[in-house]
Copies of this chain bind each other. A is one copy, B any other.
Amino acid sequence: MKSVAILGPGLLGGSIALALREDPEIHVRLWARRAEAREEARALAVADLVTGGVEEAVDGADTVVLCVPVGAMEGVLRQALPRLSPSALVTDVGSVKKSVCDALAPLVADRALFVGSHPMAGSEKAGLSAARADLFVNAVCILTPEPGHTKPAAIERAEAFWTRLGCRVRSLSPQTHDEVCALISHLPHLTAAALVHNVAAARPEAFGFCGPGFRDSTRIAAGLPAMWTEILSSNRSAVAGSLRTLIAILEPLAAQLEGGGPEAEAAIHSFLASAKERRDGLSPGTTF
């Protein structure tokens, strides 16, 4: 890995650039669509080259990482194709993988190597100013090879790339990835926003009394609405399914609370105890 093109200067693209910049052997090439973003990237010296031309960014790069919103990935990759090196690995950081891989894999096809990636790192804060060189340290990164289609070399190189950034690399099919992320990322985003709406609808003055529990439970509701609308829409079937299941879990709890009595209390205790047991079992990770 000698020359890495990062397409998109947001939190993830910026954090990749900052992490790679620590190695003087790697030429970091950053593409940003907006002139202000390029100015910011130059001022922060996050890359060796900052350009507004996708073709210039990927020229000679052995690794190309798409770090734009998932709906913009196909268009940016199309711009990159004419100058894409035949030995390049193309990957991305999109939070949904089925639609992204379906769009990107055929474009790369026999021109170069492709495998989807999803580093499970981020923040409710967006943009280059929130980027950190250690954002990926100890994060899980999910590769999404398609059985029978993705070349082993693509998987090997993507694994080496994310491992170098500090990730623990795992693999899932794009479809399974999306079902997993509906449960552990996309649905929690919706419920965080719903908890905020619930307060706003019932008693907005209650926001003035919040403690750390509410803050942590709703932190991700501060994420970018456009980005998250795209993610949720691109995975709407799995998210809707897990939301229906969640509602089916919540309904009996409401009935138990309404009814009261020792049996209801025992049911609620059992519900909380088994959730605690599962939650205690989560490996902490450094981003916790």
Instruction: Specify how many copies of this chain sit in the oligomer.
Output: 2
| Contact yes or no, A239 B215, CB < 8 A | no
What does DSSP make chain A's interface, helix, strand, loop or mixed? Answer: helix
Q: Which residues of B contact A172 (CB under 8 A)?
A: 209
User: Measured between alpha carbons, how far is A181 from B202 in the docked complex, in Å?
Assistant: 12
- Interface membership of A1, Cβ < 8 A: no
Contact A206 B222 (CB under 8 A): no
Chain A stretch 193-225: residues in CB contact (< 8 A) with chain B? 193-225
Binds B, one of A13-21, A84-92, A158-166, A268-276: A268-276
Interface size class on chain A is: 35 or more
Partner among B183, B214, B287 whose Cβ is within 8 Å of the Cβ of A215: B287
Q: Hey, which chain B residues are within 8 Å of A220, CB to CB?
A: 213, 216-217
User: A190 to chain B: closest CB distance in Å?
Assistant: 6
Of the residues B179, B191, B225, B265, contact of A229 by C-beta under 8 Å: B265
Cβ-closest chain B residue relative to A119: B211
User: Is B251 a contact of A214 with CB atoms below 8 Å?
Assistant: no
6 new A-B contacts at CB < 8 Å, known A185-B211, A204-B278: A183-B202, A198-B249, A213-B220, A217-B220, A219-B279, A228-B272
